[in-house]
Structure 1
Amino acid sequence: MTPILGSLSDLDGRYDVLFCDLWGCLHDGRRVYPAAVEALRRFRAGGGLVILMTNAPRPAVSVERHLERLGCPPDVRDGVVSSGDAAVASVNAGDWGRRVFHIGAAKDEAFFEAAQVERVGLDEAESVLVTGLVDDLTETPDDYAEILAAARARGLRMLSANPDVHVDVGERRIWCAGGIAAAYEALGGETASYGKPHPPIYALGRAMVEARLGRPVSDDRVLCVGDGIHTDVAGGVAQGLDTLFVTGGLAAPQMGADVEHPEAERLESYLAAHALTPTAAIGRLR
């Protein structure tokens, strides 16, 4: 049975570093969770290092600006690494050509402040770069069927700067870039992503830890915290890292009536269905 924790402090002394997800753990896109803020503060006060690791398709500096707008205090973190950072590094290495067709919203403009590419029409593009949906409040991947079919006909590869399929904004679930990538794969298109659960973002996280501490930290002293079973948990497991599954995020509807206290039987059924076993679980980060 996966143990269900009362608070992060139940693990005191076991870990030196947290790779902590944002959406669904620290905030819901509209408000910061006060209990999560205090949990991260306590961890840092005890000498721990908190690296916020997010699948946001924007560079870390843009993520930090968003946290400030949400009112998240800076003392919950020692650094931020993002899927956008990892994707920009691949783009700037020339892995996707210099002319790309972009699918995404104006809010993702920060990606192109860092990426050394030109945005062009689909007929001129060397690849497709997806940061999200143009209007994630009204659209679904079905709205991109014609574009995806045309890209597939040209044999273009697709880079998804955010592997997430969905996130919850307040009480509303919206589509992310990963949903478009999945639709493209269903057409037989080739896709790639560099955020969780894929290795590049963890390499960025480990490099940041070493830079902050002046030394590497052994994997058994790192804990991955997140609410995404296919991203946070699957990625941590694949990296050989311990994981804390926050059930009160994306999986909350499957965990019973009390979001703070998941029902053990429901949790075990959910984990069995996804063939993944986190080190521990918690209703909400606190």
Structure 2
Amino acid sequence: MTALSRPLHVEGLQSLADRYDLIFCDVWGVLHNGVKAYEAASDALTRFRDKGGRVVLVSNAPRPGSAVGAQLDGFGVPRTAYDAVVTSGDLTRLAIEERIDRIVHHIGPPRDMPIYNGLDVRFGSVEEADYVVCSGFDNDEEETVEDYRPQLEAMRRRNLTMVCANPDLIVERGHMILPCAGTIALAYEEMGGEVFYAGKPHRPVYERALAVGSGLAGRAIAKERVLAVGDAIRTDIAGAVAFGIDSLMIARGIHAKELGLHEGDLVSDHVQDWVDRQPVRPTSFTEVLSW
């Protein structure tokens, strides 16, 4: 399917499952909302795996995949729902390893520091650093990009490269929409700064996920047998289109408010119209991930 083909509205994953051997599934907004797990989503992925499919969770979490797995345990997402986890945090670690002899300045909360676990990293101020890793806001419930403007200006004066560990602009946490590291990275890019984006929608994370999925299957999996599942047009859907794989968009996710979807509403024609107006389009869409 091309990026401009008309998306198909489906009731659940079951109608699509036989077409695919591998699913790249987003985490936040699809498997959970930052507060609780979506049981129907885990059930759908478990059923897909029971039929012989493989599931690689592909997340823009700025932490290693192992840390995300532990977090999912806490939310109640069963291990039966997925085979492996690939995160932007994993790609960020690779970028750090490539620069291991350089001084890094970190922007982000303490919870993201596992990115550096086991690495002999030297930290420094903006004036001391050779590059910057941005994993998010120190306080995403209160801060805005403007709080970081002086720091970004200092980075720009020194022409520091930023490694963005989470390219998402916003994320859903319960009923709140909060800013992510991608917002800071975008502001820096608009100032003329150089940014390396470690996760979706950029190609490296998909290449890694495909390699992992193929390894699990014991054979090379063709792109036409891969389905990306996600709720964000800018990352999940755009990334799938650019990588050349099909996608299933979850309507009741990050765009639910924009779509005018309220609790109890069903996906209707206006969702189809909204999707049709986007610069990139999913192969199909559904209300929530279910079987």
TM-score by length of 2: 0.94
1:4 and 2:9 aligned: yes
Q: Choose which of 13, 17, 26 in structure 1 pairs with 2:31.
A: 26
The structure 1 residue matched to 2:151, chosen from 143, 147, 154, is: 147
Picking from 15, 20, 44, the partner of 2:20 is 15
Return the match for 2:45 from 40, 59, 74: 40
- Contact 1:256 1:263 (C-alpha < 8 Å) held by counterparts: no
Distance in 2, matches of 1:261 and 1:11, equals 20
1:257 to 254, 257, 261: 261
Q: Could you list the per-position Cα deviations for residues 235-267 of structure 1 after superposition, in whole angstroms to 9, with x for gaps in the alignment?
A: 000011000011111110132335663222343
Point out where structure 2 has 5 or more consecutive residues left out of the alignment.
1-5
Q: State yes or no: 1:66 paired with 2:109.
A: no
Residue in structure 2 matched with residue 191 of structure 1 by the alignment:
195
2:117 aligned with 1:117:
no
Cα separation, partners in 2 of 1:115 and 1:239, compared to 1, 3 Å: farther
Distance 1:159 1:28, change over 3 A: same
> How far does residue 103 in structure 1 lie from its aligned partner after superposition?
0.3
Match of 1:225 in 2: 229
Q: Say whether 1:174 aligns with 2:140.
A: no
Are positions 1:56 and 2:65 aligned together? Answer: no
Contact kept, 8 Å, 1:28 with 1:170, in 2: the verdict is yes
Cα distance in 2 between the residues matched to 1:116 and 1:247: 42
> Displacement, 1:285?
0.6
Distance 2:152 2:60 in 1: 22
1:114/1:3 CA distance change after superposition, 3 Å: farther
Q: CA deviation at 1:15?
A: 0.6
In 2, Cα distance between equivalents of 1:268 and 1:149: 41
With the length of structure 1 as denominator, give the TM-score of the two structures. 0.95
Name the CA distance, whole Å, in 1 between partners of 2:185 and 2:113. 19
Residue in 1 that maps onto 2:164? 160
Secondary structure of the equivalent of 1:155?
coil
Counterpart in the other structure of 1:276: 280
User: What SS does the aligned partner of 1:137 have?
Assistant: coil
Instruction: Report the identity percentage.
Output: 39
Which digits, 9 at most, give the CA deviation of each residue in 1:80-100, with x for residues without a partner?
A: 000010111122122x86211
Number of residues paired by the alignment? Answer: 284
3-state secondary structure, aligned to 2:18 = coil
